[in-house]
């Protein structure tokens, strides 16, 4: 018995044709994505520039340094008051604690006000125990 010739598998031609047919749409979507990425990159560049200028203004005005100095002063006063606690007469300890809390709140409010004037969030660092 004679063997029948086996037809070659030509499905790859169909897959290739389908892929080539979708190529224009794929390229259009790719171009859109590239353009969107360019827009995002420009916006990020502008935002970075604004942030750098804002930080430069804060540095020039000494706001950041003043806030740091204010925090250091609060810590120093708290340390000095802690040393005095032992020599404070009986009922005055509560008044001393209240004064320290009020001083801490005032310093925090002043520091945040300085940053709010420039529309930026204050840095959150260690400020003792608040």
For residue 19, give both structure tokens: 């892929």
Distances (CA, A) of 46 to 39, 40, 51, 64: 11, 10, 9, 23
**pLDDT score of 126:** 44
Q: Which residue do the tokens 């420039």 mark?
A: 118
Query: Is 83 part of any domain?
Result: yes
**pLDDT score of 130:** 41
DSSP string, 63-116: HHHHHHHHHHHHHHHHHHHHHHGGGS-TTHHHHHHHHHHHHHHHHHHHHHHHHH
**pLDDT score of 91:** 63
pTM: 0.41
In order along its 130 residues, the chain shows pLDDT tens digits of 667 777 778 889 999 999 889 889 989 999 999 999 999 999 999 999 998 888 787 777 777 777 778 778 888 887 877 777 667 666 666 777 777 788 788 877 777 776 676 665 655 554 444 4
Query: Is 98 part of any domain?
Result: yes
73 and 54, same structural domain?
Answer: no
- Region for residue 119 given its phi and psi (left: phi exceeds 0; alpha: psi -120 to 50; beta: otherwise): left
55 and 76, same structural domain?
Answer: no
- In the chain, how many domains are there? 2
Residues 6/12/13/17 CA torsion (nearest 10 deg): 160
Range of the domain at 45: 30-61
**pLDDT score of 89:** 66
**pLDDT score of 36:** 93
């Amino acid at each position: 018995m004679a063997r029948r010739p086996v037809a070659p598998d030509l499905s790859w031609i169909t897959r290739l044709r389908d892929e080539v047919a979708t190529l224009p749409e794929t390229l259009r979507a790719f171009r859109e994505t590239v353009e969107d990425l360019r827009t995002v990159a420009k916006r990020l560049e502008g935002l970075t520039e604004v942030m750098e200028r804002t930080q430069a203004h804060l540095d020039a005005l000494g706001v950041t340094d003043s806030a740091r100095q204010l925090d250091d002063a609060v810590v120093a006063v708290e340390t000095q008051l802690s040393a005095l606690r032992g020599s404070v007469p009986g009922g005055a300890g509560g008044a001393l604690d209240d004064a320290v809390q009020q001083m801490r709140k005032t310093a925090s409010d002043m520091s945040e006000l300085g940053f709010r004037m420039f529309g930026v969030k204050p840095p959150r660092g260690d400020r003792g125990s608040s």
